[in-house]
């Protein structure tokens, strides 16, 4: 990637490029165009506004809205004031949103009009929130974002973040139900940018004329990270409010998009769109993809249609995004063995495969994938025990099982922790099981991920009913939807007589998954 020695902290991005290329377009969002000078000025106002609102250094500030250039203004404003932006998954159910706001102790909530009703419903249960600001729309009780921002000073905020300071806190689903706050520091973002181009990483270089399409949700590391990467490189970032295939195809035509990040479900929806065969893709240099399983046939079709370079990326929120890459030269329209892998370690990362005792296993032997990188999170917010389970002696234990071949390519084989990845979203079975188990007719339940052509994996519930009780698949699904986010809700329910268990009583999830995954080369990405 293009290297700017002056950029060390996230807060430096807007200031450096605001001076270096003031008139260059930083963002295009709907009918709004923002230059790097305007981006820097606006984020400075946000920083000073947060200071006046008594947001102390390292205090949390929450954002709940669909994609917008304003999200990155807030990221930068928080960085300049040394506060922490907390992006909230707007697909979550009200109790889940309330939990995140309470857990983070956020003082200010920036919210879009699509979610006014949800916020009004839960606000009384979130005592830490001192102010709500409307990112869009109007509310008689809350000021608008532009009104609030534009009355602030545009002087340089006098706070100075340190590399060790947290910049962004992202919540991932927790193994036992409650989301976990992943703390990512300025150093996590800085250290992933290599000071010199790396041999074989031409795809990571950015030229002055790059135009990136940001379509992944910004509460996800894929959306937030790709946007920050584009800003770092002083690219023009075309931001879509949310993913919609026709809008993506239109943007490619209208703006001469050169780079895109997509999860496989997005790729499939675009390819299924009738306009996909009529669109001119000649400006696209590279499409990067990851975050969920991808069928080999889908990948081959994408290569044939888009006619550009492809890079698979594997990583986690906890690693500030990507730790491996499968380069363009390892992709082919005919398909090959390496396309079943997640690629090899990025230059700033070390990867090992270990057994249950933490000892490295032999080549092609399956074990847990662990990662050592300066981009590893500092830890989970207020969860020291969970942090200790995940971070050990500088290594982050991913919970993914896989093996490494003789050339250092990593093949993700299964999950150690039973996590389901559906359309790029992490779903922990325990959370779904807990929601379903509270149904009055349910005696026992197990939740697994099954193959899904569109989403990579879909959530399936296997339910044992109480004696002499009857209910429907629809009833179970609707019951769960009231308690958890829609993307976590089972897409299907099978009723069975009993769950298979080992002698100690543990449910044999591998046995439950087996019939659904027969004939598939790999279960996960």
Q: At what angle do helices 36-52 and 10-20 cross, to 10 degrees?
A: 140
pLDDT band at 135 (very low <50, low <70, confident <90, very high): very high
- In this structure, the answer to whether residues 395 and 502 fall within a common structural domain is no
**How many angstroms separate the CA atoms of 134 and 144, rounded?**
5
- In this structure, the answer to whether residues 479 and 354 fall within a common structural domain is no
DSSP string, 177-200: SS-EEEEEEHHHHHHTS-SSPPTT
Distance of CA 482 to the CA centre of its chain: 24
pLDDT band at 198 (very low <50, low <70, confident <90, very high): low
- In this structure, the answer to whether residues 75 and 162 fall within a common structural domain is yes
The predicted pLDDT at position 242 comes to 94
For residue 475, the SS3 value is helix
Please give the average per-residue pLDDT across 449-473, as a whole number. Answer: 90
Please give the average per-residue pLDDT across 234-247, as a whole number. Answer: 96
Please give the average per-residue pLDDT across 397-417, as a whole number. Answer: 85
**How many angstroms separate the CA atoms of 174 and 181, rounded?**
9
Asked if residue 10 is part of any domain, the answer here is no
The predicted pLDDT at position 423 comes to 81
Please give the average per-residue pLDDT across 263-278, as a whole number. Answer: 89
CATH number for the domain that contains residue 460: 3.30.300.30
The predicted pLDDT at position 444 comes to 83
- Average pLDDT of the chain is 91
The predicted pLDDT at position 130 comes to 96
- In this structure, the answer to whether residues 495 and 405 fall within a common structural domain is no
Domain span holding position 174: 38-187
Whether the predicted pLDDT of 70 surpasses 90:
yes
**How many angstroms separate the CA atoms of 355 and 353, rounded?**
7
Q: Among residues 171, 187, 203, which one ends one of the domains?
A: 187
Whether the predicted pLDDT of 359 surpasses 60:
yes
CATH number for the domain that contains residue 136: 3.40.50.12780
- In this structure, the answer to whether residues 449 and 399 fall within a common structural domain is no
- In this structure, the answer to whether residues 64 and 176 fall within a common structural domain is yes
**How many angstroms separate the CA atoms of 507 and 493, rounded?**
17
Contact 53, 107 (CB under 8 A): yes
CATH number for the domain that contains residue 374: 2.30.38.10
Asked if residue 226 is part of any domain, the answer here is no
The count of domains in the chain is 3
- In this structure, the answer to whether residues 105 and 51 fall within a common structural domain is yes
- In this structure, the answer to whether residues 172 and 53 fall within a common structural domain is yes
Least confident span in 5-19, 140-154, 178-192, 369-383? 178-192
pLDDT band at 356 (very low <50, low <70, confident <90, very high): confident
Whether the predicted pLDDT of 197 surpasses 50:
no
The predicted pLDDT at position 424 comes to 78
Percent of the chain, pLDDT > 70?
94
Please give the average per-residue pLDDT across 285-300, as a whole number. Answer: 82
- In this structure, the answer to whether residues 103 and 46 fall within a common structural domain is yes
| Half-sphere exposure of residue 4: CA atoms within 13 angstroms, side-chain side | 22
Please give the average per-residue pLDDT across 199-207, as a whole number. Answer: 80
Contact 80, 157 (CB under 8 A): yes
Q: At what angle do helices 69-81 and 36-52 cross, to 10 degrees?
A: 50
pTM recorded for the entire structure:
0.83
Q: pLDDT tens-digit profile of 503-516?
A: 545 678 878 988 88
């Amino acid at each position: 990637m293009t290297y700017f020695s002056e950029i060390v902290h996230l807060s430096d991005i807007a200031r450096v490029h605001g001076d270096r290329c003031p008139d260059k377009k930083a963002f295009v969002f709907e009918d709004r165009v923002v230059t790097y000078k305007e981006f820097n000025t606006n984020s400075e106002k946000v920083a000073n506004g947060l200071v006046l609102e008594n947001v102390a250094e390292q205090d949390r500030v929450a954002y709940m809205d669909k994609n917008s250039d304003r999200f990155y203004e807030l990221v930068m404003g928080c960085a300049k004031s040394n506060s922490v932006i907390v992006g909230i998954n707007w697909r979550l159910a009200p109790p889940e949103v309330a939990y995140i706001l309470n857990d983070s102790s956020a003082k200010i909530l920036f919210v879009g009009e699509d979610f006014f009703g949800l916020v009004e419903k839960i606000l009384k249960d979130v005592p830490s929130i001192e102010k709500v600001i409307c990112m869009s729309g109007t509310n008689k009780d809350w000021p608008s974002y532009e009104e609030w921002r534009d009355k602030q000073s545009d002087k340089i905020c006098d706070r100075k973040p340190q590399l060790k300071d947290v910049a962004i806190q992202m919540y991932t689903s927790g193994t036992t139900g409650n989301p976990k706050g992943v703390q990512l520091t300025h150093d996590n973002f800085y250290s992933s940018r290599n000071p010199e181009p790396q041999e074989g990483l031409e795809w990571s270089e950015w030229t002055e004329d790059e135009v990136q399409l940001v379509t992944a949700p910004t509460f996800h590391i894929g959306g937030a990270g790709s946007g920050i990467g584009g800003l770092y490189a002083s690219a023009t970032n075309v931001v879509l409010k949310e993913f919609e295939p026709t809008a993506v195809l239109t943007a490619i035509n209208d703006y001469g998009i050169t780079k895109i990040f997509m999860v496989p479900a997005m790729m499939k929806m675009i390819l299924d769109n009738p306009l996909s065969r009529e669109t001119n893709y000649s400006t696209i240099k590279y499409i990067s993809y990851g975050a969920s399983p991808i069928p080999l046939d889908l990948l081959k079709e994408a290569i044939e249609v888009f006619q550009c370079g492809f890079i698979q990326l594997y990583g986690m929120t906890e690693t500030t995004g990507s730790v491996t890459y499968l380069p363009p030269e390892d992709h082919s329209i005919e398909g090959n063995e390496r396309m079943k892998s997640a690629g090899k370690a990025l230059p700033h990362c070390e990867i090992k495969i270990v057994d249950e005792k933490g000892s490295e296993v032999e080549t092609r032997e399956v074990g847990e994938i662990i990662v050592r990188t300066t981009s590893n999170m500092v830890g989970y917010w207020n969860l020291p025990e969970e942090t200790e389970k995940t971070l050990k002696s500088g290594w982050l234990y991913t919970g993914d099982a896989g093996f490494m071949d003789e050339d250092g390519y990593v093949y993700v084989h299964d999950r150690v922790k039973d996590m389901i990845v559906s359309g790029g979203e992490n779903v922990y079975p325990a959370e779904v099981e807990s929601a379903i188990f509270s149904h009055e007719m349910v005696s026992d339940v197990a939740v697994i991920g099954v193959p899904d052509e569109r989403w990579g994996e879909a959530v399936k519930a296997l339910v044992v009913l109480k004696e002499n009780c009857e209910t429907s698949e629809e009833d179970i699904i609707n019951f769960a939807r009231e308690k958890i986010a829609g993307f976590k809700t089972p897409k299907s329910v099978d009723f069975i007589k009993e769950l298979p268990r080992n002698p100690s009583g543990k449910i044999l999830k591998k046995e439950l998954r087996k019939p659904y995954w027969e004939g598939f080369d790999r279960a996960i990405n």
